[in-house]
Amino acid sequence: MMPDHYNTIGNYPVADYKDKGSKFIAYAFRITDANEFKEKLAMVKKEHPKASHHCFAYRLGLDGNNFRVSDDGEPSGSAGRPILGQIDSKQLTDVLIIVVRYFGGTLLGVPGLINAYRSVAAQALESASIIQKPVLINYRLQFDYTLMNGVMKLVKQFDCVILKQELQLFCLLEIAVPKKQVADLLNKLNSRGEIVAELI
């Protein structure tokens, strides 16, 4: 059963952590797709071109299957997984954490690295504002132009997000509807007559 809401972050905190001369800087971002992830990674790499490593983890969506981790040259499992573990421990999604490491000349070993990456990711999330967002379900509406005003009032009333609109004699509207509002909205649309609503 899919929930009505999910938790993500509302700000972009930064945290840092030092161990034996190495410096770790964590950046947390809210992202909605893999393209945003690429932009944020490119931005952080541009800001820290001389860093030894740019490790990251992100989780997207609600099914638990859309995530990625990278150790970026650190020993396998010592960076990306501990970062993802912190995102999951707070039950967050649509979150990316990038940790930049400047090597201080002393090897930390795998346990030391796991602790450093986990600690700095946890610090970043501790200073994040956690926000609750509604789960949105996408629908395509088709209707005659004469019904336009009534449909737009309902779209506003039920806090829907307009994704796409083609307004001609026959209108096409793609909207994202908060999950808990879907049944009520569909009932209201059906009571208006010639409106076709389909999932997309």
* pLDDT tens, position by position, 63-119: 888 999 999 999 999 999 999 999 999 999 999 999 999 999 899 999 999 999 999
User: Residue 145 belongs to a domain with what CATH number?
Assistant: 3.30.70.240
- Give yes or no: residues 64 and 86 share one domain: yes
Quick one: pLDDT at residue 127? 93
- Give yes or no: residues 121 and 145 share one domain: no
User: Residue 56 belongs to a domain with what CATH number?
Assistant: 3.30.230.30
Q: In whole angstroms, give the CA distance from residue 59 to residue 68.
A: 7
Q: In whole angstroms, give the CA distance from residue 44 to residue 17.
A: 17
Domain-terminating residue out of 83, 109, 132: 132
Tell me, yes or no, if the pTM score tops 0.75: yes
Helix (H, G, I), strand (E, B) or coil at 91: coil
- Give yes or no: residues 110 and 167 share one domain: no
Query: What is each CA distance from 51 to 1, 19, 46, 107, 125, in whole angstroms?
Result: 43, 15, 10, 15, 22
- Give yes or no: residues 69 and 115 share one domain: yes
* pLDDT tens, position by position, 124-153: 999 999 999 999 999 999 999 989 999 999
Into how many domains does the chain fold? 2
Residue-number span of the structural domain to which 145 is assigned: 135-199
Partners of 170 in beta bridges? 144
Domain-terminating residue out of 117, 132, 147: 132
- Give yes or no: residues 49 and 139 share one domain: no
**Ramachandran region, residue 35 (left: φ > 0; alpha: ψ -120 to 50; beta: rest):** alpha
Domain-terminating residue out of 87, 106, 132: 132
